[in-house]
Amino acid sequence: MASHASFQRFLASLVATALVLGGTAIAQDDQCGGFDRPIVFAELDYDSVNILTDVARLVLEEGFGCATDAIPGTTLPLLQGSIRGDIDVTMEVWTDNTPEFWREALAAGTVRELSPVFDDASQGFFVPRYLIEGDAERGIEALAPDLRSVFDLPRYADLFQDPEQPDKGRLYNCVIGWYCEGINNVKMVVYGLDEFFTNFTPGTGVALETTMETAFVRGEPWLGYYWEPTGVLGRLDMVRLEEPPYTEACFAHMDSMTDTPDQATQACDYPIVVAVVALGANFANAAPAEVEAFLDAMYVPTALINEMLAFMEENDVGTDAAARQLLRSHPDAWSGWLDDAAAERVRAALD
């Protein structure tokens, strides 16, 4: 049996070998900026954030020599865990959708938010691009070449004929019972769409996605609500229709009218979603400067997240595979997050 000292030397050699992969060694004292425990991530219950989390973990492990871990759960408990100090990093906190307890902790300096990891995610009413521009390869003509805005929809209502009520078009609303259903009910009234379209509410998100994808595969018209980042908007070329610009006052009015949409007088666009990286209580003031600088610099456009979500669905793989695909296939998107030495170590780990 090998001696304890021999075993320790063996482990040390393994560590040394791992640290020189990529041709640029990390001195043992410089691993993870001297941070001496695993960095704990929030592992939330939806894929877009977990792609970002797996990207960050891979870069920290391979580029900085950090150890990482994750705690699974849903948004509210994990935000509370961040305030307690159980969670060090949450990769996707929607700034317009945070609970009061988080805002209070933020104001008190208990937790800290870094720069946006994405700031261009939208939601609203979509139609297939081929409906407006046609698709010569598929032999599809542009049936609504002047369709740009929700206010153009009434003159194209017959394109979206509801099979159960043929004198009207069909608009696929948000899933029944979701918050967006009530907001969209207000929009249909204020925009005058309720006179020309039935308000069809699918029972599940899968059902809503299926209606869009089925129409797209067939090259047929489709009109409905959707949001991003999502895999289906990574797979399908859809166009979001213009609405009056978002204002806080207008959105507050819509929110107050969801139970009585017929009485609403204002409607406008949804706000563009901004999501930031957040640091928990035990990490906010202890994060190594180079680690925080990387997390602050990490930015992934929503279109790229959509693409990776679609990659997962098309290849039946998890978020870890999507994270590696993102780093392999889009080096220009992430090389600016790191210095040359760290970037080279990440590239070597991907080979």
**Percent of the chain surpassing pLDDT 90:** 85
Q: What share of the chain is helix, strand, coil (3-state, %, to 5)?
A: 50, 20, 30
Closest CA to 96 of 205, 252, 232: 252
Does pLDDT of 1 surpass 50? Answer: no
Strand runs labelled E in 66-196: 68-72, 89-94, 112-121, 123-128, 161-162, 165-172
Structure confidence by residue, pLDDT tens digits, 266-309: 999 999 989 999 999 999 999 999 999 999 999 999 999 999 99
Average pLDDT score over residue span 139-151: 97
Beta strands in 99-250, from DSSP E residues, in sequence order: 112-121, 123-128, 161-162, 165-172, 197-200, 224-227, 238-240
Check residue 26 and give its pLDDT.
62
Between CA 276 and CA 296 the distance in angstroms is 9
Please report the pLDDT score of residue 28 as a whole number.
Answer: 58
SS3 233: helix
Read off the pLDDT of each residue in 328-347 and give the average, rounded to a whole number.
94
Question: Mean pLDDT across the chain, nearest whole number?
Answer: 91
Lowest-confidence region among 89-103, 196-210, 211-225, 243-257: 89-103
Residue of 206 and 30 predicted with greater confidence: 206
Rg of the Cα trace of the chain?
A: 24
pLDDT at 82: 97
Asked whether the predicted pLDDT for residue 27 surpasses 80, the reply is no
* Assigned token pair, 274: 């901004």
Determine the pLDDT at residue 46.
84
pLDDT tens, residue by residue, 186-235: 999 999 999 999 999 999 999 999 999 999 999 999 999 999 999 999 99
Domains of the chain: 27-118+274-350 (3.40.190.10), 123-263 (3.40.190.100)
Q: What local confidence, expressed as pLDDT, does residue 267 receive? A: 98
